[in-house]
Amino acid sequence: MKPELLNFTSKLIEKAEKTGLILDDEKEINFGVQLKFFKNNEKIPINIYYSTKKGISTVIGGSPKNRLRPVLQGILHQNIEPIDISHKWKIWAGTDESGKGDFFGPLVVCGFIATEESLPELQKLGVKDCKLLKDAETVKIAKQLYRNFSNNIEIVMLNPKKYNELYGKFRQQNKKLNEMLAWMHARVILNLKEKHNFEGAVVDKFANDSTLLSSLKDLKKIKLQHQIKAEEDLAVASASIIARYLFIKNLDRLSNELGIELPKGASENVLNVGRKIVEKYGKEKLTELSKTHFKTFNKIMDFQNAIEF
């Protein structure tokens, strides 16, 4: 299935499910794919076609009196556009990260190899940007990706202690977090290149082009695409799910070892938990669990110093 067709279909299914339609069947047809939806006791098919000249076109089947027809028409009138896949690679890498904005826990960068042939299976697994999934869905899909595509996955994960050490070294060179993150993405891509002969890599545009190009200079022999909302690419989306899964898994492990649930993000609740950790285990313990350059760390320390004073 062509990437343009796959992405259009994925969006249509997502919007249809929000209206209460349930996907009953999906099969490839000449020049496209047919979906069948049902709700209550009614079913309705829709054929979706793609050509390089005309792009996406749709034909709703069934009776004109079918009560599900207006529902599908309403969805299609919302201008569902195929996602612009700017590359034409048949095998490529996608990378994404998790934990960048979380005070507690590791920073994880994942790379995933996708092929044209693997896209239908990734879609059936429910692969999409992990920010659109609940944690339980993320964990479920990630485990399936590990079972079905274990050789296509590459990880670089920094636990808080290693993260703080490496970030300190980057700051000594007047480099910032995005440059360290770019280095991690580069490491993942290079490791994947040792295993797979892919045509290029899609990287989410988490920094400006100059920062990326400077930090990713080791990749000058690899075709790169820096994209805003790169998670719309299923290789990047798969990487986002696995990275988030590993972040959740390791945050849960740290919570269990500590006996205190470590919250995600950097909210007021994070401040309160951080203060509790310092009170119970001391300041050193907080540095083993958190990213110490966050303003949250200083707020916790200032609060604790005020109490001790």
Per-residue pLDDT tens over the stretch 94-134: 999 999 999 999 999 999 999 988 988 998 898 988 888 89
* Same domain as 230, residue 169: yes
Exposure string for 16-51, b = 16+ CB within 10 A, e = fewer? beeeebeeeeeeeeeebbbbbbebeeebbbbbbbbe
Q: How many CB atoms lie within 10 A of CB 276?
A: 12
Distances (CA, A) of 153 to 110, 175, 192: 7, 28, 8
Q: What is the token pair recorded at 285?
A: 């313990």
Residues 117 and 217 in one domain: yes
Of the three residues 76, 99, 131, the one that is the final residue of a domain is: 76
Asked, for residue 52, whether it belongs to a domain, the answer is yes
Select from 6, 105, 90 the least CA-distant residue to 48.
Answer: 6
The CATH number of whichever domain residue 46 belongs to comes to 3.30.310.240
* Choice among 18-22, 58-62, 219-223, 255-259 with the minimum mean pLDDT: 219-223
201 within a domain of the structure (yes/no): yes
Q: Shortest CA distance to 163 belongs to which of 27, 289, 24?
A: 289
pLDDT for the residue 264: 94
Are 172 and 301 in a shared domain?
no
pLDDT digits (tens, 9 = 90+) for 285-295: 999 999 999 99
| Mean pLDDT value of segment 189-215 | 81
At residue 303 the predicted structure's pLDDT band, cuts being 50, 70 and 90, is low
Question: Residue 95: what residue type?
Answer: T
Quickly count helices (H) and strands (E) in the chain.
11, 9
Q: What region does 77 belong to: left with phi over 0, alpha with psi -120 to 50, or beta?
A: alpha
The verdict on residue 85 lying in a domain is: no
Asked if residue 193 and residue 71 are part of one domain, the reply reads no
What is the reported pLDDT for 70? 86
Average pLDDT, the chain: 88
Of 207, 178, 205, 203, nearest to 293 by C-alpha is 178
168 and 285, same domain (yes or no): no
Structural tokens at position 114: 């996708």
Question: What is the pLDDT at residue 79?
Answer: 58
Domain encompassing residue 297? 259-308
CATH number of domain containing 195: 3.30.420.10
pLDDT value at residue 223: 87
Higher-confidence residue of 53 and 236: namely 236
Q: With respect to residue 107, please indicate whether it lies within any of the assigned structural domains.
A: yes
The token duo for 142 is: 């990630």
pLDDT in tens, 234-278: 999 999 999 999 999 999 999 999 999 999 998 889 999 999 999
Q: Can you tell me the mean pLDDT for 56-65?
A: 84
If asked whether residues 113 and 240 sit together in one domain, one would say: yes
pLDDT of residue 56: 86
Asked if 247 and 191 sit in the same domain, the reply is: yes
Q: Is residue 86 part of a domain?
A: no
For residues 103 and 231, membership in a common domain is answered with yes
- Which residue, 23, 42, 76, sits at the end of a domain? 76
**Listed residues 252, 267, 285: the one ending a domain:** 252
- Tokens representing 127 are 């692969």
Residues 221 and 155 occupy one common structural domain? yes
Provide the β-strand partners of residue 91. 115
Number of structural domains the chain divides into: 3
- Cα–Cα dist 136/258, whole Å: 22
**pLDDT greater than 90 at residue 309:** no
Kindly state the percentage of the chain with pLDDT values over 90.
Answer: 54
Q: Based on the domain organization, do 118 and 214 belong to the same domain?
A: yes
User: Is the model's pLDDT at 7 over the cut of 70?
Assistant: yes
More confident: 282 or 157: 157
Q: How confident is the model at residue 76 (pLDDT cuts 50, 70, 90)?
A: confident
Backbone angles phi, psi at 86, to 5 degrees: -80, -10
